């Protein structure tokens, strides 16, 4: 080998060695940051996979060895996840049928996950719970109801799910509800039915504020995004959405809304689904980091979080194949010049801040009575819904009117007789 060729080979090996060493340094730095600040992921659909594959029979599955999903306990541990919002999701075709029952079953399976694996999962409902679980080296496990169709247009059902531990609700999924339009309206695939939010939908926003329930705008059209940002007294979340300017998919968030989220103290938790990352079927980890960079550039590092959507999507980027890969993305942000404080904000501090403010709004509204006004019956009338309460109230009003007429007629008759 000639001296020149030998020198070139040595230089190439040295560059390769340096690159590997630097990558390891970024990863070590990322892992160390994740030991001090919990990575809080906004959306994981493992409960739906448990429904699909096992009909929620946890006795028939071991989350330590499950290998058909993006998520299992070893992967969660390797990914250093500090807190996870587990999605209580049921499809849109359950609307007007058994959506409430099926959603309750998804809430139940999250509770049972925590009971079956107490060494790993700790059920959580507050910012304080997340911090305490993290100190105990457990994954704080929260519930997000994914889709307003799950409450069957009932504020009472919303409250019940909150009392069972649900801490956010995605206002719509991929279908309109009787009180809110969904994101597909912006694509033209679905017709608008509510001009965004109906009057009842606006009441629901206020009731979520009163409860202390995070409002999730991940699946709504831009009209609803802006209406909620106008109405809500508490900051909002996008639990699993990315930047529209980077990938112009209607599930993503446009720049003007990013700025409004910043102004109102909310958070956008970046989705890893290839179709929302690159608007194509393929993507890489660096493409996801581009969304983080863009959101930071437009609205600051203070509104960014992680919302992988693992086990709810069919395609994830190269380098982010499952939940174990989170440290690699954190390392990429550090490599791109993100400061430790910016990374810690995105990991979990932003979401903790949002939760605390939502809890503060709840506490300020503690003397406000629950809204018990039902949605107008004509808005929800269908063959699978009864009209109890509505019909009885109408009958009572009719009876009262009839009684008044009879009394008036009797008084008039007595006057004639006299």
Backbone angles phi, psi at 275, to 5 degrees: -65, -25
Task: Give the relative orientation of helices 199-211 and 222-231 as an angle to the nearest 10 degrees.
Answer: 50
Q: Is 163 a catalytic residue?
A: no
Distance CA 320, CA 41 (A): 14
Closest C-alpha to 306, from 20, 24, 39, 32: 39
> Which one of the listed residues 149, 240, 249, 291 is annotated catalytic?
240
- The CA-based angle 139-142-143, given to 5 degrees, is 145
Closest C-alpha to 376, from 384, 385, 366, 368: 385
The answer to whether 167 and 342 are in contact (CB under 8 A) is no
Q: Is 173 a catalytic residue?
A: yes
Q: Is 240 a catalytic residue?
A: yes
Q: Which residues contact 311 (CB under 8 A, 6 or more apart)?
A: 44, 45, 46, 48, 49, 69, 70, 71
Q: Is 146 a catalytic residue?
A: yes
Distance CA 327, CA 29 (A): 9
CATH number of the 38-375 domain: 3.20.20.140
> Which one of the listed residues 41, 43, 207, 322 is annotated catalytic?
43
Q: Is 43 a catalytic residue?
A: yes
pLDDT score recorded for residue 391:
78
> What are the sequence ranges of the domains in the chain?
38-375
> Which one of the listed residues 70, 149, 173, 294 is annotated catalytic?
173
Instruction: Give average pLDDT by consecutive 10-residue segment, the chain, 418 residues.
Output: 61 47 86 98 98 98 98 98 98 98 98 98 98 98 98 98 98 98 98 98 98 98 98 98 98 98 98 98 98 98 98 98 98 98 98 98 98 97 93 48 49 55
Q: Is 45 a catalytic residue?
A: yes
- In this structure, what DSSP letter does residue 310 have? B
pLDDT score recorded for residue 23:
75
Assign 218 to helix, strand or coil: coil
Distance CA 266, CA 271 (A): 16
pTM exceeds 0.85 for this model: yes
Exposed/middle/buried for residue 1 (C-beta within 10 Å: 0-12, 13-18, 19+) = exposed
What is the 3-state composition of the chain as percent helix, strand, coil, each rounded to the nearest 5?
A: 55, 10, 35
> Which one of the listed residues 70, 219, 249, 291 is annotated catalytic?
219
> Which one of the listed residues 129, 290, 293, 309 is annotated catalytic?
309
- Residue 84 has a CB neighbour count (10 Å cut-off) of 30
Distance CA 38, CA 343 (A): 11
Closest C-alpha to 329, from 255, 277, 252: 277
H runs (alpha helix) in 95-144 = 99-116, 127-135
CA 295, 353, 222, 89 torsion-angle sign? positive
> Which one of the listed residues 41, 129, 146, 181 is annotated catalytic?
146
Distance CA 252, CA 241 (A): 5
> Which one of the listed residues 41, 45, 322, 342 is annotated catalytic?
45
Distance CA 298, CA 119 (A): 40
Q: Which residues contact 97 (CB under 8 A, 6 or more apart)?
A: 384
The answer to whether 242 and 276 are in contact (CB under 8 A) is yes
Backbone angles phi, psi at 44, to 5 degrees: -140, 130
Assign 232 to helix, strand or coil: coil
CB neighbour burial string for 273-306, b if at least 16 within 10 angstroms, e if fewer:
bbbbbbeeeebebebbbbbbbbbbebbbbbbbbb
The rounded Cα 51 to chain-centroid distance in angstroms is: 19
- In this structure, what DSSP letter does residue 319 have? T
The answer to whether 185 and 192 are in contact (CB under 8 A) is yes
Distance CA 21, CA 347 (A): 24
The answer to whether 83 and 348 are in contact (CB under 8 A) is yes
The answer to whether 306 and 42 are in contact (CB under 8 A) is yes
Distance CA 270, CA 259 (A): 16
Q: Is 357 a catalytic residue?
A: no
């Amino acid at each position: 080998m000639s001296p020149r060729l030998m020198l070139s080979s040595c230089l190439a090996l040295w560059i390769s060695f340096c690159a590997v060493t630097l990558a390891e340094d970024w990863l070590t730095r990322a892992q160390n940051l994740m030991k001090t600040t919990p990575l809080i992921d906004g959306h994981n659909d493992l409960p739906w996979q448990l429904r699909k594959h096992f009909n929620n029979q946890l006795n028939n599955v071991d989350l330590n060895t499950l290998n058909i999903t993006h998520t299992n306990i070893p992967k969660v541990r390797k990914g250093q996840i500090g807190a996870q919002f587990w999605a209580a999701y049921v499809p849109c075709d359950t609307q007007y049928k058994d959506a409430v029952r099926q959603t309750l079953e998804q809430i139940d399976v999250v509770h049972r996950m925590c009971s079956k694996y107490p060494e790993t999962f700790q059920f959580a409902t507050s910012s304080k719970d997340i911090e305490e679980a993290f100190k105990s080296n457990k994954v704080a496990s929260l519930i997000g109801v994914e889709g307003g169709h799950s409450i069957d247009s009932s504020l009472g059902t919303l409250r019940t799910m909150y009392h069972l531990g649900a801490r956010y609700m995605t206002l719509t999924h991929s279908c309109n509800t009787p009180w809110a339009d969904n994101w597909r309206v912006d694509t033209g695939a679905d017709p608008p039915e509510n001009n965004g939010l109906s009057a009842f939908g606006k009441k629901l926003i206020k009731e979520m504020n009163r409860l202390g329930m995070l409002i999730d705008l991940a699946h709504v059209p831009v009209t609803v995004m802006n209406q909620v940002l106008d109405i809500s007294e508490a900051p909002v979340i996008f639990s699993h959405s990315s930047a529209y300017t980077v990938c112009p998919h209607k599930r993503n968030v446009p720049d003007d809304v990013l700025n409004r989220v910043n102004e109102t103290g909310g958070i956008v938790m970046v989705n890893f689904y290839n179709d929302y990352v690159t608007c194509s079927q393929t993507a890489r980890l660096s493409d996801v980091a581009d969304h983080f960079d863009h959101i930071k550039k437009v609205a600051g590092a203070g509104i960014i979080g992680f919302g992988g959507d693992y086990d709810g999507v069919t395609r994830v980027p190269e380098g982010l194949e499952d939940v174990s890969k989170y440290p690699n993305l954190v390392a990429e942000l550090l490599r791109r010049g993100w400061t430790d404080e910016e990374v810690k904000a995105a990991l979990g501090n932003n979401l903790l801040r949002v939760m605390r403010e939502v809890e503060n709004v709840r506490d300020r509204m503690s003397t406000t009575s629950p809204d018990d006004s039902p949605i107008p019956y004509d808005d929800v009338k269908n063959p699978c819904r009864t009209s109890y309460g509505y019909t009885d109230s109408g009958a009572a009003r009719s009876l009262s009117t009839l009684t008044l007429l009879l009394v008036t007629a009797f008084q008039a008759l007595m006057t004639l007789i006299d």
